[in-house]
Amino acid sequence: MMPLRRMTSSCLFLMEKDVWKWEAATWPCCFSHHRKCTAAEYEELVPINLREKYGPIFTIYLGSERVVVLYGQETLKEALIDQGDEFSDRGHMPVFERLPNKKGMAMASGEPWKQLRRFTLTTLRDFGMGKKSTEERILEEAHFLVERLKNTHGRPFDPTLFLNHATSNVICSIVFGDRFDYEDKKFVTLINLIDEINKLLRSPRTVLYNFFPTLMHYIPGPHQRIFKHFEELRKFVLERVEMHRESLEPSCPRDFIDAFLIKVKHEQHNSQSEFTTESLLNRTLGLFFAGTGTTSDTLKCGLKLLMKYPEIEEKVHVEIDRVIGRSRSPCMAYRSQMPYTDAVVHEIQRFISLAPLGVPRAVTKDTRFRQYIIPKGTTIFPVLQSVLYDSKEFPNPEQFNPGHFLDENGAFKKSDFFMPFSIGKRSCLGEALARMELFLLLTTILQNFILKSPIDPKDIDITPMSFTSNIPVSYQLIVIPR
């Protein structure tokens, strides 16, 4: 049995089968050569390329942090499903660990995480079947989004804010019980804070913070604003929680906050309870980030791809007109009758691979995995893009092609390799909500508009941003009413 161990601090070490190898190369977060590596060197070291040399399991050191990288569908399934309990902790992410009172956030692990995740999933499901279903909330927001798009009057605009507002309002409706007007000052502030935090989290300084937290903690820079912004968000949510507490009717919960407050009251005499006001604040913030950024970014990428490939957009228009028409609102019941549109939604998620490396995990104990022993607490990178870009499952994976999810008869084809939300016990909490939002919002937009680009479609750049996050850069869009 081969243990995973560190051999030196100055180089990047990798492992193939039972042979240790070393690379005297400069990692962007490594100061061993006292210089910043070039873009070409950086690309040479990304896990997707390293796999070609070192196989589906290897170890890298990012600063002082040991990371085991998992590559390929078979490897990820074996780790995250077959050995799901052992791979269920959250990986080391210092920028989040500096935040006070982490309880209840996505960073939680062990029994606290299990209890909060179970409660959140159940509550979201129950409110999805309540007086106003999740689907109704999304369609309500889709109506407001369409009206806002009409007001662009054929002028070019950046769709980022429109999509952020729409997806965030869906979460607001579920968590707070109601949506916000797009011009509401507090809502605008909330969206701006979330957007700014997301940008800062992807900045080079924050990446360095996660690798060298002790050093970067004392170095001034934009990464320090993350903690200030989180505190402002916390105050916003606390204000909403206190408003709910004052008007709470335990027999008739209106939203997620009400349901959580009722649970807090039931367990007020349990000193070990994970259900506290603080965990409610953090869980609510977690839902905002999960429900606003990733879904709106996926839609933003999707609209850009459809601008580049108008022939694909036209096929979606034809299917929408045939199945739904122009007068009825889209609904999830239509999806089974719309295989091409469903394939387009799936292909958007596959192609953009929004989180190529997945979200870091960690092993809960010393874990035997294949011929290795992974020490407890070791950070794990499950490389989702290695599955989403598997060339055997998706021929020519670098090409945007809805045919990847269609069989020879044009029927929708499911794939076990489709895992943009990850898999296993740490898969995305809001996966069901995100899937529904993506289908309903995209279908509603295309039912009402034709997408146009201010530049020639062949000049639209769809190159991924980086190997850690494929968030699209800002672009201009024109929508023409159909």
Q: Which CATH number characterizes residue 209's domain?
A: 1.10.630.10
pLDDT > 90? residue 121? no
CA 400 from centre of chain: 20
Residue 205, pLDDT score: 82
Q: Tens digits of per-residue pLDDT, 364-400? A: 999 999 989 999 999 999 999 999 999 999 999 999 9
pLDDT higher than threshold 50 for residue 268:
yes
> What does pTM read for this prediction?
0.86
pLDDT of residue 127: 67
What does the pLDDT look like over 465-480, one tens digit per residue? 655 567 778 899 999 9
Report the alpha-carbon distance of residue 116 to residue 94 in Å, rounded. 22
Give the pLDDT of residue 131: 55
Pairing between β-strand 449-452 and β-strand 367-369 as defined by DSSP bridges = unpaired
- 18-32, 162-176, 273-287, range with the lowest pLDDT: 18-32
What CA–CA distances, in Å, run from 6 to 9, 65, 69, 157, 325? 8, 10, 15, 51, 61
Residues 97 and 94: their CA atoms lie apart, in Å, by 5
pLDDT of residue 200: 83
What is the residue whose two structure tokens read 């996926």? Answer: 298
Cβ atoms of residues 351 and 305 within 8 Å: yes
Domains of the chain: total:
1
Sole residue written with tokens 């080079």 = 204
- Is 15 a residue whose pLDDT tops 60? no
Range of the domain at 50: 2-481
